Structure 1
């Protein structure tokens, strides 16, 4: 039986209501803070109780609106980025790049051998840079037929775009939707710590590539061992492999891709050298969208329609951010945030800060089952996890990484709309997929726990 949970909005509003109720039951509390390197840090030994301020029905209904106001910068940034990438997609340059590689595999044994590692790396790079997630869904229609044509199975066809992009999203280094939002809320420089995040992304991507190459080779040798063997036989009968139309690569597409790559380079330079923040990066993405529209020869109406559609697609994300921020405002106004931090500290605290960081990862993984919007989860959890990191001797940079790695469970959880949508399009039952994913999820678990140790040892800031 399929597990059904309330959607994110109902869940967040329920959390709002519970916080309002808790404000009548939980005593107020406060930590003293002190300024360190321009940042307010909690003094872990200074907790003391103060008078609480219970929040009634009026405060409950005002919290989402206040959330919009306080999160306006992040919300505007998300909408602009969504519009910019919709313009990029409208030029069909990304589709053309995929199509060029797909056609090359039929002409070169070397390309055939490189299909899995190259494509997984490309999709992972998409997740790590511009937050590719739902955008991977249409590629199922290309990669499932391609995988069947190469003698693999539907699981390989789904895993290349879906698992690839999700791993990149979780191990991102400049993804504005999880790294950018989480760091902004945590009060640390935007896209700082990129060096170690690049290592994390490379390790996570390499682990995924090696696992998929091992699995694909096994299916190649013993096709009947595939969990989707019977389903794939039906697919082979009813469809012609490679029947999906692929966009031809043109000089215009190449120019668009070059402009996109150059924009990412400028963003990295601006963040690292000039300490750009959300305003500057938002302006860069808006400029990129305009230039891509010109180079891609989109007329004004098409450009505006694509940009608005991209922004419209992220209105849900914007509302989630506002509602999640509202939960923080309600708890803050009730003076119970520090009390909750004080109660959470023993659950996370450990004699070893490494174990504390790993406990934060486990908590984030559990939360990801219920709230799998990277942006929404960051908005909801980082106001708690960032100061909690101060209390348990873990850097806020490491707390952000623990939050990110918690999203490694997304490809398996049945509450994720992306997961359910991808599997429905590929016609793979969730239980079949989940049983196949268990070994890979265990590998991700061990990998994440290991990757959280070095940042603690090197006092990563």
Structure 2
């Protein structure tokens, strides 16, 4: 007698690069369908602005099959400054990670707090939020999840609390994005507005987002503390008790070298802030500064010359997915420009929503960015894909480009904590051994709260 076997079907999720390439091909096809046209533009205060009412149709310029592929290296060339900026920043943080300074610093902080678990959650989330809005911590948070889980279980919580302290702390800062070089920095550069401008408004929204996140996690943690069976991952907690006990006993020693590494990072970020606002630094200067920070971290951390540079290369390997995706995304723009349809599409979008109030226009942009993030979860990749459209569209609609960047920023960042196409989220859940559906059950309400906060912030920004 044959015993029937059941195989769980894997859900097919297209690769991010495959999605972007499909968009490239689609844009090439549209160059045969969408009328070619262009706006007149003029440079005002250093920004190339679209002149309202200047759109005119021109002769059709369809993109051939082979031109689709020649557009790829051209897109890489156009995105070179951003691509190599991301590589160099990633390399610097590869060195910093290798020194173990961040691990040891967080462990030392937890030790200093002792058993004051009610203060532990907000402090840890605040620390990771700083890394979120200064370094764009996303995939990097994966390595800290086991530490967070061990701490949480030692204090009577579960794996969800430990994971949330790290992942949602970093996410709160990522949403704030005040000094995030990978999202806000890239988007503002494309939109031709000062890098990291609007920092005060973003800081206010960040504080609200972080506070709501802390309250949400603490509320769940209190429920688990009072009743272990109320844990969403109760079965996981029962099976992992012995393993987590051994992990909790591992010791991480915070050394003077770690202190020097962290100081070099903090001072370097402060110098970058000053350079952006006082010396008109842009991506080239920031990339040079981060490279210097990485080399200093290697020296202070005692890695030696060879280990420092091998760690630098390893850091660039980690970030290669997000770096090269910028070039692929820029290829979309190259195809649209070569086919002279980008201005036509901007005109269509403007006509579709121009009769609406500005507050509804920006919400439309926001929803568009949330949708795009499912398919292009890379922040820098989404910026390179959408901001060339959103910046001139905001000109036509009479909306500040800064607000268009905000719509991109919030649309990109919030859903990263729930969409299954987010590599960082799936990596975090894999390390934590938390099933995706359990995570969704835990976080869906918080995502809605954050979406609402961001929508209100956008309306306020317009008003």
> What TM-score, normalized to structure 2?
0.94
CA offsets, 1:266-310, max 9 Å, x none?
A: 011111111111111111111212222222222100011011111
Provide the residue aligned with 2:434 in structure 1: 428
Of residues 72, 90, 98, the one that matches 1:90 is 98
Q: Distance in 2 between matches of 1:456 and 1:173?
A: 19
Provide the residue aligned with 2:375 in structure 1: 370
Provide the residue aligned with 1:138 in structure 2: 143
Further displaced range: 81-90 or 232-241: 232-241
Of residues 407, 419, 424, the one that matches 1:413 is 419
| 8 Å contact from structure 2 (residues 126, 210) kept in 1 | yes
Provide the residue aligned with 2:313 in structure 1: 308
Further displaced range: 291-300 or 56-65: 291-300
| Residues paired across the two proteins, number | 454
Structure 1 residues 348 and 150: alpha-carbon distance in aligned structure 2, compared to 1, 3 A threshold: farther
Structure 1 residues 245 and 44: alpha-carbon distance in aligned structure 2, compared to 1, 3 A threshold: farther
How far apart are residue 195 of structure 1 and its match? 1.8
Which residues of 2 match residues 17-28 of structure 1 at below 5 A? 17-28=25-36
Of residues 439, 442, 447, the one that matches 1:441 is 447
Q: Distance in 1 between matches of 2:186 and 2:243?
A: 45
How far apart are residue 256 of structure 1 and its match? 1.3
CA offsets, 1:231-279, max 9 Å, x none?
A: 2122114441653634211111111111111111101111111111111
Q: Distance in 1 between matches of 2:355 and 2:140?
A: 40
Residue 235 in 1 paired to residue 240 in 2?
A: yes
Q: Distance in 2 between matches of 1:227 and 1:46?
A: 57
Which residues of 2 match residues 37-436 of structure 1 at below 5 A? 37-105=45-113, 107-109=114-116, 112-240=117-245, 242-243=247-248, 245-349=250-354, 351-406=356-411, 407-436=413-442
| 8 Å contact from structure 1 (residues 141, 244) kept in 2 | no
Residue 16 in 1 paired to residue 16 in 2?
A: no
Structure 1 residues 258 and 199: alpha-carbon distance in aligned structure 2, compared to 1, 3 A threshold: same
CA offsets, 1:300-328, max 9 Å, x none?
A: 00011011111122222222111110110
Provide the residue aligned with 2:13 in structure 1: 5
Q: Distance in 2 between matches of 1:246 and 1:31?
A: 63
Stretches of structure 2 that go unaligned for 5 or more consecutive residues are 1-8
Structure 1 residues 244 and 311: alpha-carbon distance in aligned structure 2, compared to 1, 3 A threshold: farther
CA offsets, 1:12-44, max 9 Å, x none?
A: 111111111111111101122233222221123
Q: Distance in 1 between matches of 2:200 and 2:459?
A: 15
Provide the residue aligned with 1:33 in structure 2: 41
Further displaced range: 94-103 or 39-48: 39-48
Residue 451 in 1 paired to residue 448 in 2?
A: no
| 8 Å contact from structure 2 (residues 115, 155) kept in 1 | no
| 8 Å contact from structure 1 (residues 144, 158) kept in 2 | yes
| 8 Å contact from structure 1 (residues 127, 167) kept in 2 | yes
| 8 Å contact from structure 1 (residues 182, 379) kept in 2 | yes
| 8 Å contact from structure 1 (residues 63, 323) kept in 2 | no
Q: Distance in 2 between matches of 1:244 and 1:329?
A: 55
> What TM-score, normalized to structure 1?
0.95
Q: Counterpart of 1:35 in 2: which secondary structure?
A: strand
